[in-house]
């Protein structure tokens, strides 16, 4: 049974026989032989909507989701618009009345309370009572005779009364009698007893006594009630789906670490036990996802040596992404890391600290993987009988065989891959990072993700695709919960602003959740190769505040590892992909405590846990970027956080920040406090333009909490 | 039978059993038990597309229509994408290969040749031969051994050969034999006779003799041919519709004239015979649509007097929009204008001059209309039994009864209105201007327009809706061929640029065709009330060049009538809506000859007959606007026209125009000629920045034809 309940502020309708939705279009040329003319309202541009409703939009548990639409009718009549929504496990539809935002645009806020799938539609019809009430006011203001109009209103209310029950019906009858007999015009006082608004489901019973006829017929509350009872054919939109993930899909803080480099003894292969020893370190920095590269047996055929050398020495561990050996394949654990029990213990210890262990799903094999001999038909063969290894001509990767997803036994292969995911879920894994999903068919991922999410809606999948925009978007559409982005290469103010405006405010925002990485084991960005501490800090702060989800590959990041394998390469020198590394986690140059501080700020400020409200503000210096976030969907801008970053890692930069105060809910006439959460300094700012100066040799950024004190009452008022 | 034929440049496919299109999405959770894995290509964002394909996009006969889509697959394989299209009367689908424009975006140009409805879809699949050929080139460049790859290619071509016929099959066999036996690598010469490209349907037979193996396998022509034969499951998009109107729906020049004000004798009611006398005047100005306000009998009850007075004198003619009297209703002719035969003669005379007579469809009645007594149930009654007259509270219009489109007999009413349209079509009318369509249900118009366009696809309907944006858009979506716009109130450079960028370059462009009016009998805009000649000229030139369709209400416009009924009103003083006017068409101040010149320029320059290529160019003076148009869809920018207008009607303005030369196909290193088509002056411009100066006391605008002479060859080269 559903645990979801609509809040008591929402009207719940007993709509079991909800009509099949349509697009409101009349069927041309052959009007149906009915008594009713076709519905007059039109509904368009329903949001959120992905690919005309073919794909679900995304939400997370706890969201208050804005559902919007354009709705209008011919002529001047007013509309009543509502959203109907239900979770797959609900037996009934809930209804939420939409509010007009002007220009025929409407919105309702819907509480999202359960994992899995919601469906919703928008319904609109002409509201005859509201139209009558608005016109009555115009006629009354113009001093026109209202006699006949009051009779028309009485008829409307009498019709509605037939549908009402008990005290509601009594109240409506009293109002219609009042309208029919009104001789004192709209000033006529209404009988007291019958006008208890409690009958309308409102709580403020006491307020509405002794009202005049005008108060009553112009009352929004009565209008809403009568609108619900009114006659007329409604137009309904298509039905759209919302897939609901856990809140961590929206707000997560990732730390990637090679388990084999966790031993405290130099050059010794680390184990899951060593990883458990490092959990405190990870927790202290404030991460809640610990992502491990593949933990499976590593192939020996074609094994790569240090620096990616084409052949390995006997002691070289090989790349963890060359999965599979005689010890087993995708369901096995590398013996040097420990046993399945050790892995269970790691997952359990991490969970106690609020950390999810994320597994790597890399659907490719080494030539030694058991599947190669068990299922030769899962691979593509060349005319000489050999299996085609991975390549991107003229490059070729002899240590990896790609799977042939189009094999005649594709269903057998796909099912086995699904079983791999199910297996690790059964071991306690809830977060997967998927390696190169863009080299496997979209149809495969859609099938796998849909199946898994149906069985376990709490599972999160991060798509590691650094490829063309349409391909990355498609992976998000077909079900990936989070996506790697181009952040790694977006460096200048112009690049950051245009890219993050696109991520936060275009169609993408409905289905693609960015996860920002300043580095990965594959990408030591040019920015970081300088080795400037300011570069690491500013790239980190950008990731942690531009994205509600971000990650770093450590300890390389916090220890400011910055040597590339060769000039112009983004590969790390001495990459952990090919060798065991020892890290001096206690180094004085470590950024661990700074990272811990920023992650604490992220936890304490809901503004940083969403991307919806991201707004860039002008600065008269191209080297300084400024942006704000606030808690979304609140009645006003709450928890306003303003971030200012010096993008120049070598020189101090200063300039005037021009905050758009209106968008932040700040009164420009009064001073406000900028509390720097990094330094605990407080600044008093006034008006939109304020001066900042940031020195890369110190902390090259501000993370401000903006607060404007309420207006103080005068002593006399305060004494009341 | 269809008269449409696909051009010989297009490939025609015998695809009777075209699979039912789908969105390319895998059905999750339950893969079908087939041998084939699901298709790998994804197709998205097909254009043109209106409301997710629920509504047709618009085109006109003779268009070369760009059909575009995003298409991509997983991994690095190349795609083959094609558009399939057919007119409703075609028995077969035609196919046009799409070209990649980069970033996974594809386009094909489809010739639109017949009125009525086309349908199209986009199809995409992995092109194994093209992928092989591209990879082979990369391997060859890297000096890799190609032995096995040539074998793979031979196999691919042998598979394709099985589907080929006759000489095609022979040619493919020769190529595969060449691949299998190639010992001299890609430089091996191919046997001559078998390589006649005539086998591929190409015309340049002679070109392709003595080619090497490399020339053959990298050839785009072979690739296209083999792509068509290749294996693999295609993804197909939804099917989308295109409604095709006559070219006049896109390019039309309207003149509105009250027939009762056409008598040469002052204060005498004009007749259709008088209108015929004025046809030469209208033709000389270059108009091709003559729009007459309603020509039906006018009601007497509540008739309005001059200046819209609430009561009329016995000699006052009343408003033509108060339709219906004892003489008849919407199918009758006002006796003072003449007979139906006179009307026929007018239509015929106009047609000889290339002018369509446009009728006004105003679906409302005077209280004296026959329908009021014949069909009282077609009107809404008030509780006192009276019919509700037109009103927009507190305003009320006692001379007009609106029809009740929701009457229980709505089907009877709608059918009668359809009969009105059919009746006038039978009299020879092909263009209708529809009065206030936004006050009638959208479902009604969709039904009526769909029915009429099915019977008579050449008919054009202009929507006279000046209301909210969503409502105006909806009327265009459901079938109106042209739409009045906000142009009348867009005056500043900023307003004009943002509004016309929206009309030309947003989703709107696929379905809404703007028709720009600087004035109407209802709207004497504030701009024109100044009476400045420059205001009339510049508003006219803006309308005639920003819009491929525009209209003026004359002779008020060309005679610069500018007195408003009262300050702040947009109503004309002495409005023809309520009285017969006499006009001095020969007045020296008339703009008729200027109008004639501009309309001649419009006819001679295809650039001005489309809106697709509208582009604004920067000018460093907010009072000067500059924009260009060119013939769309050509291989390069053809017939470039540049318009520069001084928006200040009182003072000369000058400034530097910064033309975006690249977008106009102009080489910035060479001078180009700006030929002012209004004055016949020629200017030599160089580079992007050039100076203009426009004096409102003279002609406050330029309409330039831009021409850059081709590079002259040196005498030696020229002598060859």
Give the model confidence (pLDDT) of B408-418 as tens digits. 999 999 999 99
Contacts of B94 (CB under 8 A, 6+ apart): B6, B10, B11, B12, B13, B84, B85, B86
Best mutation site among A22, A37, A41 for testing chain B: the one with the most B CBs within 10 Å? A37
Three-state DSSP class for B437? helix
Q: What is the mean pLDDT of chain A?
A: 90
Torsion angle, alpha carbons of B270, B274, B278, B280, to 10: 170
Structure-token match 């020296």, residue found: B588
Q: Which of A464, A473, A639, A648 is catalytic?
A: A464
Closest CA to B532 of B387, B419, B698: B698
A194-199 contacts at long range (C-beta below 8 A, 24 or more positions apart) = A194/A170, A195/A171, A196/A167, A196/A171, A197/A221, A198/A167, A199/A166, A199/A167, A199/A168, A199/A170, A199/A171
Q: Sign of the C-alpha dihedral, residues A405, A411, A412, A415? A: positive
pLDDT for the residue B3: 40
Cβ contact B595:B568 at 8 Å:
no
Burial of A698 (0-12, 13-18, 19+ CB in 10 A): exposed
Band of residue A636 on the pLDDT scale cut at 50, 70, 90: low
pLDDT band at B100 (very low <50, low <70, confident <90, very high): very high
Nearest CB partner across the interface for A135, out of B37, B75, B393: B393
The strand ranges marked E within B138-293 are 235-236, 240-245, 252-256, 289-291
Long-range contacts of B497-506 (CB under 8 A, 24+ apart): B497/B616, B497/B625, B500/B546, B500/B614, B500/B616, B500/B627, B501/B614, B501/B616, B503/B611, B504/B611, B504/B612, B504/B614, B505/B614
pLDDT, one tens digit per residue, over A410-448 is 999 999 999 999 999 999 999 999 999 999 999 999 999
Measured in angstroms, the CA of A44 and the nearest CA of chain B are apart by 8
Name the band, by pLDDT with cuts 50, 70 and 90, for residue A113. Answer: very high
Indicate yes or no: CB of A138 within 8 angstroms of CB of B393: yes
Measure the CA–CA gap between B35 and B58, rounded to whole angstroms: 41
- Residue A395, classed as helix, strand or coil, is strand
Rounded mean pLDDT, A577-592: 96
* A54, A414, A471: residue with CB nearest B31: A414
Each residue's pLDDT tens digit, A38-51 = 999 999 999 999 99
Shortest Cα–Cα distance, B609 to chain A (Å):
31
Q: What is the pLDDT of residue B20?
A: 38
> Can you give the pLDDT at residue B718?
40
Segment A120-125 mean pLDDT: 97
Q: Is A680 assigned a catalytic role?
A: no
pLDDT of residue A5: 41
- H/E stretch holding A370: helix A370-374
- Please name the residues in contact with B481: beta carbons below 8 A apart, sequence gap of 6 or more: B58, B245, B249, B460, B461, B462, B513
For the cut 80, the answer to whether the pLDDT of residue B344 exceeds it is: yes
* pLDDT tens digits along A544-567: 999 999 999 999 999 999 999 999
Instruction: Provide the CB-side half-sphere exposure for B513 (13 A, CA).
Output: 28
pLDDT tens-digit series, residues A201-230? 443 433 445 567 787 788 887 888 888 777
Q: Which residue has the higher pLDDT, A588 or B189?
A: A588
Backbone angles phi, psi at B376, to 5 degrees: -55, -25
A383·B35 Cβ contact <8 A:
no
Compare all CA atoms of chain A with the CA of B70 and give the residue at the minimum distance.
A470
Q: Phi, psi at residue A460, to the nearest 5°?
A: -115, 135
Q: Is the peptide bond before A597 cis (omega within 30 degrees of 0)?
A: no
Mutate: best of B22, B28, B46, B363, partner A, most A CBs <10 A: B28
A453 → chain B, closest CA residue:
B29
Mean pLDDT of B511-538: 97
Q: Show the tokens assigned to A548.
A: 């509600």
Cα(A398)–Cα(A396) distance, integer angstroms: 6
Instruction: Among B139, B442, B454, select the one facing A42 at the smallest CB separation.
Output: B442
Residues 6+ apart with CB under 8 A from B189: B210, B211, B212, B213
Are A39 and B443 a contacting pair at CB < 8 A? Answer: yes
Mean pLDDT within B239-244: 98
Torsion B181-B187-B188-B190 (CA) sign: positive
Nearest beta carbon to residue A37 from set B26, B410, B474: B410
Contact B129, B226 (CB under 8 A): yes
Interface probe with B: pick from A393, A403, A422, A469, most Cβ of B within 10 Å: A393
Closest CA in chain A for residue B55: A25
CB contact under 8 A, A72 and B410: no
Measured between beta carbons, the chain A residues lying within 8 angstroms of B74 are: 438-442, 471
What is the pLDDT, as a whole number, of residue B714?
A: 56
Q: B564 and B558 in contact (C-beta within 8 Å)?
A: no
B443 vs A contacts (CB less than 8 Å): 25-26, 37-40
Preferred mutation among B393, B410, B438 to probe A, highest tally of A CBs within 10 A: B393
Q: What is the mean pLDDT of residues A133-142?
A: 92
Instruction: Identify whether the C-beta of residue B163 lies closer than 8 Å to the C-beta of residue B277.
Output: no
End-to-end CA distance of chain A: 52
Is the pLDDT score of B378 beyond 70? yes
CA distance A477 to B25: 11
Pick the closest to residue A446 from B618, B38, B546 (CA basis): B38
Spatial separation of the C-alpha atoms in residues A307 and B292, rounded to whole Å: 83
pLDDT at residue number A216: 79
Q: Which of B37, B54, B103 sits opposite A410 (nearest CB)?
A: B37
The first and second tokens of residue B260, run together, are: 């009762």
pLDDT tens-place string over residues A55-68 = 999 999 999 999 99
Q: Is the pLDDT of residue A10 over 50?
A: no
Question: What kind and span of H or E run contains A692?
Answer: strand A689-694
Q: Do A103 and B393 count as a contact with CB atoms less than 8 A apart?
A: no
Contact A443 B40 (CB under 8 A): yes
Residue B34 pLDDT: 57
Instruction: Judge contact between A320 and A295, C-beta under 8 A.
Output: yes
Residue B271 has pLDDT above 90, yes or no: yes
Please list every residue in chain B whose beta carbon sits closer than 8 Å to the beta carbon of residue A75.
Answer: 438-440
Which residue segments constitute the domains of chain A, with CATH numbers given? 13-19+34-127+236-244 (2.60.40.10), 129-229 (no CATH), 262-295+333-363+410-604 (3.20.20.80), 615-707 (2.60.40.1180)
pLDDT at A193 over 60: no
Confidence of residue B33 (pLDDT cuts 50, 70, 90): low
Q: Report percent pLDDT > 90 for chain B.
A: 78
Lowest mean per-residue pLDDT among A10-24, A193-207, A592-606, B421-435: A10-24
pLDDT tier, B280 (very low <50, low <70, confident <90, very high otherwise): very high
Residue with tokens 């929507």, as numbered in its chain:
B463
* Three-class DSSP category at B452: helix
Q: What is the C-alpha to C-alpha distance for residues B232 and B39, in angstroms, rounded to an integer? A: 8
Q: Taking CB atoms and an 8 Å limit, are B74 and A441 in contact across chains? A: yes
| Per-residue confidence (pLDDT) for residue B304, from 0 to 100 | 94
Q: Do B72 and A470 touch (CB under 8 A)?
A: yes
Question: Which residues in chain B have Cβ-Cβ distances shorter than 8 Å to A447?
Answer: 26, 28-29, 31
Chain A residue closest to B144 (CA)? A394
Q: Is the dihedral of CA A39, A41, A42, A46 positive or negative?
A: negative
**Considering Cα of A296, then A297, then A302, then A308, what sign does the dihedral take?**
positive
pLDDT at B496 over 80: yes
Please tell me which residue of chain A has the smallest CA distance to B52.
Answer: A52
Tell me how crowded residue B691 is: count the other CB atoms within 10 A of its CB: 10
Interface touch B37/A407, C-beta < 8 Å: yes
- The answer to whether the CB of A605 falls within 8 A of the CB of A290 is no
Of residues B200 and A476, the one with the higher pLDDT is: A476
The whole-angstrom separation of Cα A269 and Cα A335 is 11
Give B153's DSSP letter.
H
Are B568 and B604 in contact by the 8 Å Cβ rule? The answer is no
Give per-residue pLDDT as tens, B298-339.
Answer: 999 999 999 999 989 999 999 999 999 999 999 999 999 999
pLDDT tens digits, residue range A288-332? 999 999 999 999 999 999 999 998 999 999 999 999 999 999 999
Chain segment A458-500, per-residue pLDDT in tens = 999 999 999 999 999 999 999 999 999 999 999 999 999 999 9
Instruction: Scan for tokens 């093209």, then name that residue.
Output: B130
* A412 close to A419: Cβ distance less than 8 angstroms: no
Higher pLDDT, B200 or B169: B169
Say whether pLDDT at B13 is over 70. no
Q: For A577, what's the count of Cα atoms within 13 Å in the CB-facing half-sphere?
A: 19
State the pLDDT confidence band at B181, using cuts at 50, 70 and 90. confident
- Indicate if the pLDDT at residue B292 is higher than 70: yes
Active site residues of B: 435, 464
As given in the structure block, the two tokens for residue A689 are 């333009």
- Give the angle A322-A328-A333 at the CA atoms, nearest 5°: 80
Q: What is the mean pLDDT of residues A376-399?
A: 91
Q: What is the pLDDT of residue B636?
A: 66
Mean pLDDT of chain B, nearest integer: 90
pLDDT of residue A416: 98
C-alpha to C-alpha distances, B129 to B122, B156, B208, nearest whole angstrom = 20, 7, 20
- Gap between the Cα atoms of B72 and B81, Å rounded: 9
**Smallest Cβ distance to A139: which of B28, B393, B414?**
B393
Rounded CA separation B703/B541 (Å): 9
Residue A242 pLDDT more than 60? yes
Residues of B in contact with A449 (CB under 8 A): 28
Helix/strand/coil for A379? coil
CB A527 within 8 A of CB A630: no
Contacts of A92 (CB under 8 A, 6+ apart): A12, A13, A14, A15, A16, A86
Q: How confident is the model at residue A133 (pLDDT cuts 50, 70, 90)?
A: very high
**Mean pLDDT throughout B690-699?**
96
Which of B28, B439, B446 comes nearest A28 by C-beta?
A: B446
Instruction: Report the candidate in B456, B461, B431 with the shortest Cα–Cα distance to residue B445.
Output: B461
- For residue A37, the chain B residue with the least C-alpha distance is B406
């Amino acid at each position: 049974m559903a645990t979801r309940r609509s809040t008591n502020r929402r009207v719940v309708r007993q709509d079991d026989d909800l009509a099949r939705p349509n697009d409101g279009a009349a069927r041309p040329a052959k009007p149906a032989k009915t008594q009713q003319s076709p519905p007059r309202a039109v509904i368009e541009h329903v949001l959120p909507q992905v690919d005309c409703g073919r794909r679900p939009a995304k939400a997370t548990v706890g969201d208050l989701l804005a559902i919007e639409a354009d709705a209008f009718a011919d002529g001047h009549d007013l509309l009543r618009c509502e959203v109907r929504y239900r979770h797959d496990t609900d037996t009934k539809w809930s209804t939420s009345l939409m509010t007009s935002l002007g220009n025929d645009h409407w919105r309702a806020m819907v509480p999202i309370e359960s994992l899995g799938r919601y469906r919703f539609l928008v319904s609109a019809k002409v509201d005859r009572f509201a139209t009558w009430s608005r016109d009555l006011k115009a006629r009354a203001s113009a001093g026109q005779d209202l006699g006949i109009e009051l009779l028309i209103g009485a008829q409307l209310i009498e019709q509605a009364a037939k549908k009402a029950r008990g005290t509601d019906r009594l109240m409506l009858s009293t109002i219609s009698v009042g309208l029919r007999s009104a001789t004192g015009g709209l000033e006529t006082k209404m009988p007291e007893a019958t006008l208890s608004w409690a009958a309308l489901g409102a709580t403020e019973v006491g307020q509405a006594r002794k009202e005049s006829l005008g108060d009553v017929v112009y009352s929004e509350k009565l209008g809403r009630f009568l609108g619900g009872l009114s006659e007329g054919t409604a137009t309904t939109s298509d039905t759209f789906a919302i897939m609901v993930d856990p809140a961590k899909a929206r707000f997560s803080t990732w730390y990637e670490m090679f388990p084999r480099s966790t031993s405290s003894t130099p050059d010794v292969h680390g184990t899951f036990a060593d990883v458990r020893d490092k959990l405190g370190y990870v927790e202290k920095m404030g991460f809640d996802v610990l992502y491990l590269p593949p933990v499976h047996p590593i192939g020996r055929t074609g094994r790569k040596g240090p620096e990616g050398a084409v052949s390995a020495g006997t002691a070289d561990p090989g790349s963890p992404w060359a999965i599979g050996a005689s010890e087993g394949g995708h369901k096995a654990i590398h013996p040097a890391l420990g046993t399945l029990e050790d892995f269970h213990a790691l997952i359990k210890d991490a969970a106690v600290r609020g950390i999810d262990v994320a597994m790597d799903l890399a659907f490719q094999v080494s030539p030694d993987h058991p599947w190669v001999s068990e299922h030769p038909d899962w691979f593509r063969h060349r005319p000489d009988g050999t299996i085609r290894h991975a390549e991107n001509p003229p490059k070729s990767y002899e240590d990896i065989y790609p799977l042939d997803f189009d094999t005649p036994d594709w269903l057998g292969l796909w099912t086995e891959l699904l079983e791999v995911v199910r297996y690790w879920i059964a071991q306690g894994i809830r977060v997967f990072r998927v390696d190169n999903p863009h080299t496997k068919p979209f149809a495969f991922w859609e099938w796998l993700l849909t199946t898994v999410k149906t069985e376990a809606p709490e599972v999160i999948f991060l798509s590691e695709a650094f490829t063309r925009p349409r391909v990355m978007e498609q992976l998000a559409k077909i079900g990936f919960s989070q996506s790697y982005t181009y952040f790694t290469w977006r460096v200048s103010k112009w690049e950051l602003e245009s890219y993050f405006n696109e991520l936060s405010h275009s169609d993408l925002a409905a289905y693609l959740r960015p996860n920002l990485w300043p580095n990965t084991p594959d990408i030591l960005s040019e920015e970081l190769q300088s080795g400037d501490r300011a570069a690491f800090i500013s790239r980190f702060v950008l990731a942690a505040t531009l994205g509600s989800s971000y990650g770093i590959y450590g300890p390389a990041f916090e220890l400011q590892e910055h040597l590339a394998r060769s000039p112009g390469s983004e590969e790390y020198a001495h990459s952990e992909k090919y060798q065991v590394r020892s890290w001096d986690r206690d180094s004085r140059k470590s950024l661990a405590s700074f990272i811990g501080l920023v992650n604490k700020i992220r936890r304490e400020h809901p503004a940083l846990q969403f991307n919806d409200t991201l707004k860039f503000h002008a600065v008269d210096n191209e080297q300084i970027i400024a942006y704000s976030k606030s808690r979304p969907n609140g009645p006003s801008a709450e928890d306003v956080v303003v971030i200012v970053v010096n993008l120049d890692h070598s020189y101090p930069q200063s300039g005037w920040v021009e905050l758009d105060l209106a968008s932040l809910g700040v009164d420009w006439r009064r001073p406000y406090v900028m509390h720097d959460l990094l330094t605990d300094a407080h600044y008093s700012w006034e008006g939109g333009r304020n001066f900042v100066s940031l020195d890369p040799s110190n902390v090259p950024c501000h993370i401000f909490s903006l607060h404007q004190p309420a207006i103080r009452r005068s002593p006399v008022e305060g004494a009341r």
